[in-house]
Structure formats: C-alpha cells, structure tokens
Structure 1
C-alpha cells in the first residue's frame, strides 16, 4: 500500500506537539485594586442614626471601572464652599446639548446639601408649548480637596443612580454671584448666575473667563429669562427627609 503520509506506521517517531496558547482572560486584581473599587461605591453613613432606619435613603453607584484620565483638562476653581454654592442658579448661557433641546426659556436649578454630604439638584425650564419640565438628580464630590469636581446623575435603575456625568466648577465668583460649570471634554458648559438678568458687561466678562479656560465661548447660546417666571416654574427644593 502506498504511503501518502496520511497515516503513521509502526516504529515511526511521533510528530512534536505544538503548545497551545493559553486563553487570555482577565487579570486577577490584587487587594489594593479591589480596595480602590470599593471606594467607587457610596452609601449613606451608618454611624449616624436616623429617626427611622426603615426610611433611610441609600444612594449607590454601580460604576465599577478604572478612574478617568483627562488629558489637557481645564483647571477648576481653587476651592468651592459647598454651603455657599447651594441655592438657586439661573442659566445665562449654555453650550447646546440634546438633553436640553426642549428648554426654551426660564432655565434654573436649585441645589440643596443633604446631611449625607450629597447635593440634591432640581432643574426646571419652560418648553415651547408652555409646559414646565423638571429633572431631579443627585451630585457627589469626587475631589474633597477643592470641592470643585463633582459627578451628577439624573437617571436611576431599580432605585440606584446610574450614568454619572462630570460636573466641574470651572470658576466661581468671590461672593458666589456667578459660576462657570463644564465638563473636562469642554463639550458641555453653562454660565450660571444668582441674578436672573445680569448686566451685559458681567456676562461678557464671564464668557471671556470661560474662553480663557479653553471653552468655545462663542458657541454658547444665551438663555431667555422672563421676569416673574419663578412663581410659575418653581417650588421649594429640599433634600430627602431622614
């Protein structure tokens, strides 16, 4: 029978076996990395008893990933006094973004600092048809040394806040009369004021400061603020009760 090489005869050495590559899986994380992951999860402090333990609100982040690294990110305010930052802010100008596409005028936000250290946010605006749009969210400080870098979430999944966005305070007035808020990518930005109708000179100065931080100030849209609109669009903001 003709040997065509398809079979191995007796006494012939076996061909050398090639080593199969080991499957590449995820690298096991060390204890230090697991500790870093644990820091990404926030819950209401347990060392502070509440009036009713059954009603205590717990806010949890499901974000389990590596920290963000921002190259050429804008500098933030040197330090932000969170209590002074709380209260009502009127939107004077913003970079266009789809989440606010229905807001035609009277955009403002109320900030309340909760006993748990979280910032409770209520945004309101007037739509084209005259209806009032409301969005409620929660923000957390991620840089305790300055309080200028926060993350904010307006979405929940099964009661858990998800989809956290960067909320950086780029600049703030000495008397907290204005604030420049943006994201490290510079694709989103807002000019906020305590005054519903600041002077044009003030607005131009704020836009110039934003431009100095690398934001496209010439692309910001001015927000229409009608006098007396607060009565129709507002209600007192408050943090959840214990």
Structure 2
C-alpha cells in the first residue's frame, strides 16, 4: 500500500471511530464503504481490520459505562447472531473468490439501507418489543457481521425504536459489536485467514481509533442529532451508490 493510500485509510478509520463514538454505530459501514470505493485493501482483509479495531473503540466506550449494556436484550441478540455469523463468513469467502461484483452490490445495498434508516427512523414504541424480535434482529446482524464485520443496520433500527434510555441503547450496541468482533476474529483465525499483514495494518490504525474515540468523548460535535444524521446519511448514500451501481452495470 502506498503512503497516500495508507494515510487516507487511517483518516477513514479515525472518522469512522469518531462517528461510532457519537452515534453508537457506523464505524464498519464507513470504513468498508471507503475501502470498497478505493480498493486500498481487499474487502475480506478490511473486514478483519474493522473487527479488531471495533474492540479498541468498544473498550474505551465501555470502560466506565458498561453496566447498562449487560441486559436481557444483549444476550438474546448474541445467542442468535453468533451462529449466523459463521455461515455468512463462509459466504463471504465464496463471494470474494469468484463473485466480487456481487459482494460489492451486497455491501452497497447494506450501506444504502443503513443510510435510509438515518433519515426515516421507525416510530418509537410505547412498550418493549417481544424477545423474538431481538432474536430476529440478531440473526440479521450476524449475517452482516460475518459478511462485512458490520452488524449495525438491523440492530440499530430495532434498538433505537425501543423505549430505553439513549445511553443504554448505545452501550448495548457497542457491546454487541465488540462480542461479534471477537467471535469473528476467532472464525477468521480458525480458517487460517488471519495474515500478518492484516495484523500490522490493524496495529498501524490503532492510534487513529484510540485518538478519535477520545476526541469524540471529550469534545462531542456541536451539531444537533438531526444534522449529524443527515451528514452521515449523505456520506453513506453516496458511498453505497458508488459501490453498487458500477458493479450492477457490469453484471447487467
């Protein structure tokens, strides 16, 4: 990787960590979208780097505020997401080997779905959803975690509709992402796909994640939540379209 590409990748990592710290999600989406567009790192390798770096971001966020994350919803989601993560990781290996265009279309569609959620969130519920809904959200999140190391879209949509305090929602999401990341790295290692180059790239990006997370916690943006959502929506929508459309045209 050339120095300009490396610096751009580290900047992308820092920006994703900042947004995740402020909103509770979007790190993986931002990084995977940027990598998919630039081609700086193969998508499977980028997903491993994201999995490793999510742990740094989560440790900083949950260091002193972890108690509200360990709740019934967390265990329901994890119980259903971890098995589907394994199956979807096998699908990633197949797509990355012979169907890269389909992989780009799938990633673009996921990013667009997440972008639409930001500006068209579901109506807040008066009562907590049933346990089954958290299981289904976990299944969907596990599939996306195995494919792209980003289980956010279905989980964020479901959790933010619940009548829970915002802090509890954010910390629960971060805890889910962290456990999924540990499990995903374990699957990658077991399959023999954890290379030294990926570990070095993650190590180089670690200061960017730590610094951006600390900065976001110390100096959160002065933007209103609505404005922040619109900015992230624009970024995700553009990256999702840029990823999916060229691959779709090529296949057609």
Q: TM-score range by the shorter chain?
A: under 0.3
TM-score, normalisation: structure 1: 0.21
Q: Bigger relative contact order, structure 1 or 2, given CA contacts below 8 A and separation 6+?
A: 2
Indicate the structure (1 or 2) with the bigger Cα radius of gyration.
1
TM-score, normalisation: structure 2: 0.21
Q: Which is helix-richer, 1 or 2?
A: 2
Q: Which is strand-richer, 1 or 2?
A: 1
